[in-house]
Chain A
């Protein structure tokens, strides 16, 4: 049916629009009414991001056709404000409690609760969670959202996070260490963020991909005439055409043990996984593009698919990449000199197995790109939600055979990344190439099914370990055999896991000797990429091994940890890899946590419950999280690239401060945290610093946001550039005040202070005065100083910095139903100097919940023929607010002696600790049945299967 004229009453205004009946209300609100605060996360009614009010009641706008909403009164996030245009109590509480990070799911939550709380002003904790369960969040772990809602209904008293000794260090700072609510919230709480899909580009065409239904097949022919001639379709492209406008995408780091791989922008000869993109349709809108896709006839010749990482290594296995001679794309081995002797002579050898399953990052905002080619300037502007815009630009310019100076990459507000938004994807390259060829802007927004099938997968590692121990449980050596299922394409170097495991496997433990053999194998599944803590399995391996040692020798697992764990006294400790561990306190966090968790009382409780056939378990997992990755790391790992970071500060003639760093945000609050670090270095107030990030024309070349490097590399660079700026400002001030040395001067909140005979007094000079001289009266500047006030600083952090934590998890396992309930969860963490405790706690929450989610719920499932069975959020599960525990945090922070302000970086350790802690907890609960968790996810179905197998095991 053609378009009809409808009138929708939105936020009190009648809006006329011309829409097809099939146009979803979510799209009509966003495109026709131009209210982009309502976000689209799935289009099958599960995630809740699109929730609006219809006649005062929360409803999914993706599950209503716009034409059905006539005659009703619709309210969106844009209408949520108090009488004077400020925050409502709910928005205020979310702001104060850091109840949002990337902000993509936030409007749906606000709209739901504004309505709900009106009718239910005093909900219980259970009722709050129940209502919140209709909205999925991937960043916050729901902790602070619930806290904020409770604040509004005045249920929750103020709770202080416990501060441990060591925090006195931080009272020297004026901005760093402050629980500053974020400035990003101002736009995100009101639905005024600008995510990719919110950016209007007049005349833009919409791209859409036809994707392979087969896991492995030759592309025989593609019949596109009907699609090409469909009204509204501008063009249709396949891999053959794109080859003319792009170079081959090479993933070929020059490292031993890894094979170079290549891919074309779109496959030409064959498809390698279910969802592999084959054809790109470009049309006036997405609806038309999908109509055209239905008319395209691709003839495939199906091939046998391989979906098992072990079978993939057989010589008879189907070959995933025809340019390689086998599916083994990377094989790396390493051993310390003494490992063989240790394993041979050992008194005890304990063997374990750990199988991590396939997962995907699942940001609530899917991927997308907008490409605009300016023919006159011969310049390509790309809007793309990406964590590392500069490296992205370097790579995509190369693949398009453009100079880097011909490409601008702008990362706008991004609805979560978690490692999925780093690589340059083939779809993005395709869209960019097409935009240049058509000389028209082209945009693409991935839908949720594509995101689950074809964006990027992660994990799926199987590990066998052998640990040599003495009679006291002391670890003497460890060998690991790891096989990873990398999928069909390499979106990042296949040897990454081996590299990181090599460095950090020992974690918080003393491990004198070890050896590893890491095989990375291609299969007919979506390719792997980094996912928050790609090395997460290492913590499960170490703490699972500790538990196995304890069981083998009938020792208390806590005692075995004490025997092997590093304490501050043991530092610096040189790990078998040669890395030096400093400024961590694993044993101290273990002891503190055991006390806070009341370990002794738990064991009593556990035993008593067992007699009643109630099965509780405690899981401990100690984490040393590698963060930052300075350039020396890349060099020694043989991985091309660097780990340095860059920042600039510019003071305008009026004295306002702008600053930038080479990272892009996907919800980490950099605009606030970096304002704090610049302000700290510079001596101004954070509110007076404007942070501009994400645009490669504006920000200095940096290595992006990943590997928990944001705080050290980014925050460090920002702090250092602030110090440099302060030095310049004070040098100018000294000249203007006629003072000999800047040692007696200091900048505080933008004013110059002078110390005279030990006492500090404020001078009349402030930053605006200094700036005015610098720009408009340079003759007054100190001899030899350049006019203007723009400072640049690059910072190369240490090759590695470390945060550490110990996680404690108590579970209750219902052996009848196989359900696992997490009763308590505690982290004791040392993450160094904390720039903004609110933000850091948010990262701790989010990472722990992601680890719990992976261990209990998530699973990308392929059948034997390579069909991906989990293409919707009804099948790929992440927990709702009802399935997550409350997380308690005890901080035991100590600074890193080698970084600016002692910053260490964090945000992946939570995933590492949670995977190990939950696994160990369930194993502990099921110890009477002689069950050890070796595989994930721990679903009720799989737990019951384990119990059934062990039914003959003793119940007491």
Chain B
């Protein structure tokens, strides 16, 4: 399986990249890690005339931490997020999401930006970005716009990025003190795309009731789904077994899961319920046992 012909461009600055985008017309694809794009090109399912390689644009690579945010350059590879020194303390859900992507060799090359623009409904980064309400900065030659992850991921393999634009950074909030979290997935094999995935963050009050909840489901619809109603209703509730069971049942009814050769819709609904229970339990456990947690 060999790709069709294309002309290769390797701009080293964003400015150069936008110039190329302006000049080259419609039949252009931007390549970052290529771990999703190259198989598709090898299969000749995508045959762009021009390929713009943004891997050497340094301003798109790197991780910056502040007390409030983690800002990740779009062309940062998953492996670097997985092993970034400060992240395990400040925002451990990020390295955990990265760790689950494919295999080591894929993570050494695939990028967070590539994954988000690709918008595979079963992928980790769209799930986590929507969970955390990450902010996506998109540049074009003319302007900069910032979208929330929920607006950025539009549908299956469809993001909000236009042909003349480049996703440049993704900004996540750090996890707060005492914030529990969990990612649960079911895959046929380690490293495969998840059939269903559930991600949770939550914080508890001194009295053990829920202060804040974020709950996001992957594989249940064309994009990851935030359970916004449940999140609102959860504030003040006691996260006991009954609440967990109710929430899990609600989760299983969300969206419109599809059927494919690996799993049918009913199966997805069933395991969504199972995974939501697991995720909530794990998040609660983490919230309760943390240093500085009021629930220590």
Contact = CB atoms under 8 A, between A and B. Distances in A.
Nearest to B51: A21
Nearest first, the 7 closest Cβ-Cβ pairs linking A and B are A134-B103, A21-B8, A44-B39, A882-B190, A1-B7, A57-B108, A22-B3
Contacts of A944: 266-267, 270
Contacts of A287: 2-3
Interface in A835-894: 857, 859, 861, 869-870, 874-875, 877, 879-880, 882-883
Contacts of B270: 816-817, 944
Contacts of B266: 944, 948
A43 interface: yes
A598 interface: no
B102 to A, nearest CB: 8
Given A22-B4, A63-B34, A883-B190, 6 more contacts: A44-B42, A58-B105, A65-B34, A816-B271, A817-B186, A819-B186
Nearest to A870: B261
A777 B154 CA distance: 88
A599 interface: no
Contacts of A817: 186, 270-271, 274
A24 B263 CA distance: 33
Nearest to A879: B189
Contacts of A859: 261
A226 to B, nearest CB: 15
12 contacts: A21-B5, A44-B1, A44-B42, A57-B79, A62-B42, A63-B35, A291-B4, A448-B1, A449-B1, A882-B189, A882-B190, A940-B263
A112 B104 contact: yes
Nearest to A880: B189
Contacts of A20: 5
Given A45-B106, A63-B39, A294-B44, A68 B34 contact: yes
Interface string B69-106: 00000000001000000000000000000000011111
A4 B3 CA distance: 16
A290 B190 contact: no
B261 A869 contact: yes
B53 interface: yes
Contacts of B41: 22
A76 to B, nearest CB: 14
Given A57-B79, A816-B270, A63 B189 contact: no
B190 A133 contact: yes
B51 A875 contact: no
Contact of A290 (B44, B53, B186, B261): B44
Contacts of B3: 22, 24, 65, 287
Interface in B1-40: 1-8, 10, 31, 34-35, 38-39
A449 B38 contact: no
A58 B190 contact: no
Nearest to B191: A133
Interface in B170-213: 186, 188-192
A364 to B, nearest CB: 16
A941 B8 contact: no
A112 B5 CA distance: 31
Nearest to B83: A119
A462 interface: no
A232 to B, nearest CB: 12
B249 interface: no
B108 A133 contact: no
B105 A59 contact: yes
A879 B192 CA distance: 11
A939 interface: yes
A769 interface: no
Interface in A902-956: 939-941, 944-945, 948
Contacts of B43: 44, 449
B58 interface: no
A60 B109 contact: yes
Interface string A45-72: 1001001001001111011110110000
A60 B261 CA distance: 27
B262 interface: yes
A351 interface: no
Contacts of A134: 102-106, 191
A723 to B, nearest CB: 49
Interface string B243-277: 00000000000000000011110110011001000
B110 to A, nearest CB: 9
Interface of B: 1-8, 10, 31, 34-35, 38-39, 41-44, 51, 53, 55, 79, 102-106, 108-109, 186, 188-192, 261-264, 266-267, 270-271, 274
A944 B259 CA distance: 14
Chief secondary structure at chain B's binding surface: loop
A58 B274 contact: no
Given A45-B38, A816-B274, A944-B267, A60 B105 contact: yes
Contacts of A60: 35, 105-106, 109
Contacts of A492: none
B267 A940 contact: yes
A290 B43 CA distance: 10
Contact of B5 (A1, A44, A879): A1
B186 A45 contact: no
Given A43-B1, A48-B103, A134-B103, A21 B6 contact: yes
Contacts of A64: 34, 38, 109
Nearest to A1: B7
Contacts of B267: 818, 940-941, 944-945
A291 B55 CA distance: 28
Interface in A1-17: 1, 4
B7 A21 contact: yes
Contacts of B103: 48, 131, 133-134
A130 B2 contact: no
A670 B103 CA distance: 34
A60 B44 CA distance: 19
A116 interface: yes
B51 to A, nearest CB: 7
A63 B38 CA distance: 6
A186 interface: no
Contacts of A24: 2-3, 38, 42
Contacts of B55: 68
Nearest to A943: B267
Interface in A500-515: none
Contact of B104 (A65, A131, A861, A874): A131
A286 interface: yes
A939 B262 CA distance: 8
A291 B6 CA distance: 12
A290 B42 CA distance: 11
A481 interface: no
Contacts of B5: 1, 20-22, 291
Which of B6, B102, B105 has its CB near the most chain A CB atoms (within 10 A)? Answer: B105
Contacts of B102: 134
Given A818-B267, A940-B186, A861 B106 contact: no
A623 to B, nearest CB: 27
A857 B188 contact: yes
A870 B260 CA distance: 12
A67 B8 contact: yes
A868 to B, nearest CB: 11
Given A63-B35, A818-B267, A43 B108 contact: no
A447 interface: yes
A875 B186 contact: no
Contacts of B106: 45, 60, 63, 134
Interface in A253-310: 286-287, 290-291, 294
Nearest to B188: A877
Contacts of A875: 261
A64 B35 CA distance: 8
B261 A22 contact: no
B261 to A, nearest CB: 5
A948 B271 CA distance: 13
Contacts of A941: 262-264, 267
